Amino acid sequence: MRRRQGGSSFLRTGSMRALAVLIGKSPVRCIKKESDRYGRLLAQCFSDNTDLGAEQVRQGWAVAYRKYTRTYVAIEERAREARKGMWAGAFEMPWNWRRKNR
């Protein structure tokens, strides 16, 4: 991921801070959905009754993982239109950045 004016550290710091606030001291539980082609676990995680992935996307600190689900795409589009989080500046989707920087 890359972002002009601060780079990926801006995104990482903003995302981590937002996630820490969401979780607080509450326990986190994750529900396995599937595994990706590399065998990595794809899960939906909650703190209390808050879907952490949906909230990170809503705040503009994460993107919908379209390759495996369309669950958060509409939420991402609203965050982008509202210029929240990483959408406040120039942002390139991680898969596009990786393709160009191989």
Each residue of 30-89: pLDDT tens digit? 999 999 889 999 999 999 999 999 999 999 999 998 888 899 999 999 999 999 998 988
Confidence of residue 3 (pLDDT cuts 50, 70, 90): very low
Confidence of residue 93 (pLDDT cuts 50, 70, 90): confident
Residues 89-102: what's their mean pLDDT?
81
How many of the other CB atoms lie within 10 Å of CB of 22?
18
The DSSP secondary-structure symbol of 47 reads E
- Token duo for residue 43: 């899960």
HSE (CB half, 13 Å, CA atoms) of 99? 5
SS3 call for 84:
coil
Q: For residues 42 and 65, is the Cβ–Cβ distance under 8 A?
A: yes
| 35, amino acid identity | S
Domains of the chain in sequence order: 2-90 (2.40.50.90)
At residue 17, does pLDDT exceed 70? yes
Render the burial of 23-45: b for 16+ CB within 10 Å, e for the rest. beeeeeeeeeeeeeeeeeeeebe
What does the pLDDT read at residue 5?
Answer: 43
What does the pLDDT read at residue 8?
Answer: 59
Task: Give the separation between CA 64 and CA 100, rounded to whole angstroms.
Answer: 20
What does the pLDDT read at residue 57?
Answer: 96
Which of residues 101 and 25 earns the better pLDDT score?
Answer: 25
